Structure 1
């Protein structure tokens, strides 16, 4: 059964990335406000998690970031939830910047899923909605 728009996850990730790129530039008919970039990027990250190999490197960034904190003996015990909390604070606590919010938003779904617990809820809710429209 095909969905409403039948893009597939790889096609939807590409279309959403291009829309975000065109919209952030602001010189076109599409305009994405800086405070909306994390939400767009989060959706792109969700799509990338289910897309082909071209997009699977995005989820690896979050894992590598968390592993770099875990491997640092000076910090002590570090769990993936702490990395997810830092990422969330960086997105919503700092002034909106398109490059920062796009990167953090795109790696957030895989990092939230790896963290487990309550962090999984936003990723699983958005994933279910996207799956209903993209496939």
Structure 2
């Protein structure tokens, strides 16, 4: 046994996604509160970075979102940290909405790593921790 629960990155991402889906509906024994959706989806985003082909597009959404802002000459100079800040404010500053929080939470790990600096610290630490537990 190479880890604590031996799911693998792809298996863990699938299990977490299914848990989040079942829990958001709130009609089952599993209940995920709207305030907890960003945390669950952030974990899914961390796992997706190491998962197989089914999850490979998820980490690229954050960088594509940043590229859309950087490529706009009307905005002026735009750095990845600005996109990370916008995503963070949208998740924690707006009212909880499952679809918004799930999408932004899932793309945040790749976006934070792309931004670098202090933004990359939580993702690097948590990714190492999750990988050691589930891989």
Q: TM-score, normalised by structure 1?
A: 0.98
List alignment gaps of at least 5 residues for structure 1. Answer: none
Superposed CA offset, 1:1-30 (max 9, x none): 511110000000000000000000000000
Aligned to 1:9: 9
Aligned to 1:49: 49
List alignment gaps of at least 5 residues for structure 2. Answer: none
Aligned to 2:82: 82
Q: Distance in 1 between matches of 2:125 and 2:60?
A: 21
Q: Distance in 2 between matches of 1:63 and 1:114?
A: 7
Correspondence 1:1-135 to 2 at 5 A: 1-135=1-135
**Would you say how many aligned residue pairs link Structure 1 and Structure 2?**
135
Q: Distance in 2 between matches of 1:20 and 1:26?
A: 10
Q: Distance in 1 between matches of 2:89 and 2:55?
A: 25
Q: Secondary structure at the match of 1:58?
A: helix
